[in-house]
Structure 1
Amino acid sequence: MSGKRKLAVPILLIAMTAMAILIVLLFSKVLLNDQASSTDRGIRLAEQYEQCQAYAAALQGGTESLATADTAADRLPAAAQLGQLAPLEEGCAEVLSRKAVNPENDEEAAKQSILADLEKIRAAAQQIGLHEGPATDEEQAALAKLRAGGEELAGILGQYTVPAEGDRYRQMAAGVDWTKPAADAALRIRELAESLPSKG
């Protein structure tokens, strides 16, 4: 009987040790999966944030080129630059509408609202200069407003340096540092869109 007791204690200790090791391994796997998922979310956010920066740069550069163009042929490079805006709108609207940017956001409604603002800005820029000769005074005023808006937007978004490595991606996924410039950018986009005449 005492021999069985002597064996029971070491067997119990071995079983407890094996269970502890198994728990640690499973917990480590869960943590690694969470970390990988967080990195993936951060990479996606970084790509979308860069799309906003590219939108601002294309708006600024395209309107600047358009303002100095005297002929339809001179306007072709500006038109090409402004043509880059449309593919950037979806990703930009998505990142700026996140709950991390504004906890009160209904993400889908906020995204559609920002998307409409970005489309209105693009349409306003692309309808300028659809004629021979230099831009009219009215068009020059609109270009100045759009160029200034693009420059301000680029400055706001430039307050955050987009990550290029794992830890920074995870920080971005956690909402570290980028949400304030993103909220300011969304507000500036809204103000610029509202300052433009409605299509009609």
Structure 2
Amino acid sequence: MEEPRTKRPIFTPIVLILLTFSLIGNVFLYSETIQNDQTDRVSQGTEIIQSGNAAIAFMNQAAAQTEALVTASDIAARMTSKSGLLAAYRQSGSVTDFIQEAEDVNGKPFPTAKGGATEFLDQTLASLQAIGNHEGPLTAEEKTYLQGLHQVFDACKKELSAFQHDTINQEQSLLILVDKQWPQIAGKLLEQMKPADHAFKG
């Protein structure tokens, strides 16, 4: 006598199908997470390179125009140099961005009093707006202030000269995130602008 066939539970293949779809979904989500993470890292690296190079451009321009302002032979040349110097400050935010990005990578702020770079840039901009708005040559106090400011800009230029990342692509944007040197450059840059009274008192 033929034995009756045992029916296989229908839920077994259903469970296998569900597990397969679940596994595929998890792999997809994991791949998306990895892709998004890399995209974020590339974006972060790109911002670091851009802010670093913009900070270099600002310091170069600021140093050159400050020197030109000190040596201007007449009021027309002085106003031209002053306009160029004030225009350079449109890029000054790149300095604070560069320092902030270094602090983000380090996971902590630099051991400098709060507002070091921002305070320096705000005070010097306000001072430069007030300097030289008169007939005749610059006063002795104005020249002394500008010469001191030029020294700071020159020192900042020197620190930033070590930042040599002028190529922006995916590879370079990822590489800079593992570069241990550039955050140190940002820290040394901040040291040159360390909290002090940078306001013109003339």
In 1, the alpha carbon distance for the partners of 2:151 and 2:116 equals 22
Identity %: 22
Match of 1:44 among 42, 47, 63: 47
Question: After superposition, where does 1:1-200 map in structure 2 within 5 Å?
Answer: 22-98=25-101, 99-100=103-104, 103-105=107-109, 110=114, 112-162=115-165, 163-173=167-177, 176-190=180-194, 194=196, 196-197=198-199
* CA contact 2:127–2:200 (8 Å) conserved in 1: no
Residues 33 and 101 of structure 1: is their aligned pair in 2 closer, same or farther, counting only changes over 3 Å? closer
In 2, the alpha carbon distance for the partners of 1:131 and 1:104 equals 45
* CA contact 1:43–1:169 (8 Å) conserved in 2: yes
Over the aligned positions, Cα root-mean-square deviation in angstroms equals 3.3
- Residues 56-98 of structure 1: CA deviation (Å, up to 9, x unaligned): 1122011111122121111132112211243223332133134
Q: TM-score with structure 2 length normalisation?
A: 0.74
The Cα shift of 1:101 comes to 6.3
The Cα shift of 1:174 comes to 5.3
Q: How many residues align?
A: 191
Residues 78 and 2 of structure 1: is their aligned pair in 2 closer, same or farther, counting only changes over 3 Å? farther
In 2, the alpha carbon distance for the partners of 1:32 and 1:174 equals 18
In 2, the alpha carbon distance for the partners of 1:178 and 1:64 equals 28
* CA contact 2:99–2:187 (8 Å) conserved in 1: yes
Q: TM-score with structure 1 length normalisation?
A: 0.75
Which stretch of the first structure deviates more once superposed, 20-29 or 85-94? Answer: 20-29
Unaligned runs of 5+ in 2: none
